[in-house]
A and B are shown apart, each in its own frame.
Chain A
């Protein structure tokens, strides 16, 4: 997967953006631990999430005049079309789900769009091991209906008038017992339809994300067809997994994946991904069972230091595992190791 361009959402109004990110940050009061693997893999939807988050800023006009609302809980308009609220709902939910994106203590909000995205990179680098904190599905699944709704409504209130945002951010710091929702003009305002509308908006926002993920789905309109495409995509992926496992089973007379295989495979992985990474350094973490065949002794890379991810030289990486490999007393593999070392060296030169 190629890293998608991070300059996608940099074209929005700086003031509104800063307000919004500040609002979001106030909502995400305790920033949870950094991203686990999900945001790392989910590169495109992350930018899409940010895009969804920031895009309604521009068309949205702050300070929309409220037509004479009814008494009781104040009903205010959603900004512009409903799209603003949708995307904000997405934004707040996504902010809940990709906390590393929005949870940094970032002071300079003017360049927040760039910084917010560069921060999670560094943070995810520092925490490559995923934290136990769930990202996609909260442990409190039952509260999911309430919390995002509250956040979304807070978002809506902030979006309504940018000037009032500071007051509202102070108001909304605590949990609201009631759900204050803006109803659009001419729509029913009882709680059921509002809740239903909120739910529909959530579903639509997530469907948009899915559309971004599945190739060729952005042009399709209509939930049913999009779902169809998604189903086809998932089915094709699962079928690919089956086919690949069959291929692997056929290619190896026995399921023996020795180090040569791994090295060569790491070369292909590394070539396709980040060039300065070498896999074998992660093997030291492997716990080797003593009852294994001596064939598997290659796994004992206890002497290898932990990698420094940045600023490695490929030559250095290559020499070290080969040295440690060559020091093993598995004569059956020494010849193959020598040959493999030369091959790896040759491959590196390419």
Chain B
């Protein structure tokens, strides 16, 4: 696909930029540091290519910006869209740190108020059915897992969570493709 590969190449370009910066800052890194640097640059490049229009990209950038070590890298990769990203990341940071608990609490209060009103109607529905309640519990558990997986997913309702997952999966796949080809190329070059 024409634009798909152009996106991948954009991602690759930004990623390489980030890696170069990492390399120029530190001379000798252990393999762990290198891995971390690589992964970090890859994630940031991914998020920046996505232009911070999605929640998970903003969450990635925000979580990266909280760590002070990565500031230079962050600035470099994200530097071009600085204003947008800063605003977005500040937004996400504010959300994630302070108001997640509040959001959850408010949702619970809402649900409780609804539940009091609709308890009669709900009893008509086959909620007492054991399979149904079991399924509900399973689904709840799994959505919780998914929320932990997708960056920035903790404070989202189910609908946006699914959309974010959709988006995130596609981009993860692209990231894996690019990284795999780069790894293969570098291994081939080094004659391994």
Contact = CB atoms under 8 A, between A and B. Distances in A.
Interface of A: 1, 3, 36-38, 40-43, 45, 97, 121, 124-125, 128, 130, 132-137, 141, 144, 188, 192-193, 199, 202-203, 206-207, 209-210, 213-214, 222-224, 227-228, 230-231, 233-235, 237-238, 240-242, 244-252, 254-257, 260-262, 264-270, 272-274, 277, 279, 282-283, 285-286, 291-293, 296, 309
Nearest to A43: B1
Contacts of B22: 255
B3 A257 contact: no
B100 interface: no
B108 to A, nearest CB: 17
Interface in B171-192: 171-190, 192
B170 A38 contact: yes
Interface of B: 1-10, 12-13, 16-17, 19-20, 22-24, 27-29, 31-32, 34-35, 37-39, 42, 49-51, 53-55, 84, 114, 117-118, 121, 135, 138-139, 142-143, 145-146, 149-150, 158-160, 162-190, 192
A251 B158 CA distance: 41
B113 to A, nearest CB: 12
Given A125-B3, A242-B39, A265-B12, A251 B172 contact: no
A43 B170 CA distance: 10
B90 to A, nearest CB: 15
B116 to A, nearest CB: 13
A241 B172 contact: yes
Interface of B is mostly: helix
Contacts of B190: 251-252
A192 B119 CA distance: 12
21 contacts: A41-B1, A132-B51, A137-B160, A141-B160, A230-B146, A230-B165, A234-B146, A238-B172, A245-B179, A246-B31, A248-B186, A264-B185, A269-B178, A273-B4, A277-B9, A279-B13, A282-B9, A282-B13, A283-B13, A292-B24, A293-B24
